[in-house]
A and B are shown apart, each in its own frame.
Chain A
Amino acid sequence: MIISTNFLLNKSHNLLRVLANSISTTSRCLKADDRKQLIASTPRKDQGTEGEKTIEIDQLIQKNKIDIFPDENTPNAIFYDMPFKELPIVNIRVSKNNTILSLTNSKGVIQMIRSCGVEGFKNTRKGTNIAAQATAITFCGKVIDRGIKAARIVVRGLGPGRMSAIKGLQMGGLNIVSITDTTRVSWSGPRPRKQRKL
């Protein structure tokens, strides 16, 4: 049903366009329409939220679903010869234009920091998943040089680097114990900036 109405709308637009071309008026109105169509047709940017809206049936069938989530014994549970609360933390700060990785100890003291910009990607290339992955792999090598085998991961923000940075850390050879999300979300925060004009 929806397809057919869209089709009709397009038809009428085309008709209008022909008329407008012959009379050479109302081009401004059509320009706005073109812009809207262009924006609607461009593919949406990947924000690293794979699996947000899908339901996987395999996962629903699995019975041992519960041990994927933490409980009250988690801080003292032992992973890779170390209690969970003493494992080092890899923080990933993702934004639209950059990805920043930092290593901290269990108390939160920063020991190493690296971002896509430091890696050599500049301007818009910083905000791509490839940049994030490359950064994560080199970062991971440096982390392993320090003698760290396993770490907890904390992700903050949405952006193209969200998934690929985690994947890069895995590819680099770091054992990932857990993934935590600390994206700051407020339901009553200060007024955000005004909307972009498109």
Chain B
Amino acid sequence: MKHLKFLSRTVFVNNNNVEEACRVLNRVLGKEEIFDQYRRTRYYEKPFQVRRRINFEKCKAIYNEDMDRKIQFILRKNRTEPFPGQY
């Protein structure tokens, strides 16, 4: 589907606050990895560099997932036993 020009990637400016609108737009595009892909395609990325990058991203994702789980575990509420391992 073709993206319509003034519907996708568009942000309105409220109360003449241009900077905030720009920041919102930039954050959305950064999160969608559009800027990353743009920067990556300025120069050819050799296959070994692609492999390295993707492996790094995989490792980072695994680490982040585990760390999130750990944080959730520490922050959990309504524990049946509030101080496990202590009597």
In the complex, residue of chain A having the shortest beta-carbon distance to the beta carbon of B37: A185
A180 touches B30 (CB 8 A): no
- Residues of chain B contacted by A43 (CB below 8 angstroms): none
Is B61 close to A, CB under 8 A? no
Contacts of B27 in A (CB 8 A): 51-52, 54-55
Chain B residue numbers with a CB within 8 Å of A182 are 5, 9
A84-B43 in contact (CB<8A): no
Contact B44 A195 (CB under 8 A): yes
- CA–CA, A84 to B27, complex, Å? 24
Cα A185 to Cα B22 with chains together (Å): 19
Indicate which residue in B13, B14, B18, B35 contacts A49 across the interface (CB closer than 8 Å). B35
Chain B residues whose C-beta falls within 8 Å of the C-beta of A55 in the assembled complex: 27
Residue from the set A52, A54, A163, A195 with the largest chain B CB neighbour count within 10 Å: A52
- How many A residues are at the interface, by size bracket? 35 or more
B6 touching A178, Cβ below 8 Å: yes
What CA separation (Å) do A53 and B23 show in the bound complex?
10
Query: Which residues of B lie under 8 Å from residue A70 when comparing CB positions?
Result: 6-7, 10, 12
Q: How many A-B residue pairs have CB under 8 A?
A: 113
**Of A49, A53, A69, the contact of B12 (CB 8 Å cutoff):** A69
Residue in A51, A59, A175, A189 whose CB lies within 8 Å of B22: A51
Residues of A within 8 A of B62 (CB): none
Q: Are A49 and B20 in contact, with the CB atoms below 8 A?
A: no
Nearest CB of chain B from residue A189's CB, rounded to whole Å: 6
- Interface pair A52/B30, CB less than 8 Å apart: yes
Partner of A192, one of B9, B18, B44: B44
Which residues from chain A sit less than 8 Å from chain B, CB to CB? 49-56, 59, 67-70, 74-75, 84-85, 152, 154, 158, 163, 166-167, 170, 175-183, 185-187, 189, 191-196
> Which residues of B does A touch, CB under 8 Å?
5-7, 9-14, 16, 18-27, 29-30, 34-35, 37-39, 41-44, 46
A177-B13, A179-B13, A195-B43 given; name 6 further pairs at CB < 8 Å: A52-B26, A68-B12, A70-B10, A179-B25, A180-B11, A185-B38
* 26 A/B residue pairs, CB under 8 Å, sorted by A: A50-B26, A51-B23, A52-B35, A53-B30, A59-B20, A59-B24, A68-B14, A75-B6, A85-B6, A152-B6, A158-B39, A163-B19, A167-B18, A170-B16, A177-B13, A179-B13, A179-B25, A180-B11, A183-B34, A185-B38, A186-B37, A186-B41, A192-B43, A192-B44, A193-B43, A193-B44
Closest 8 CB pairs of A and B: A51-B23, A52-B30, A195-B43, A181-B9, A180-B10, A51-B26, A52-B26, A192-B44
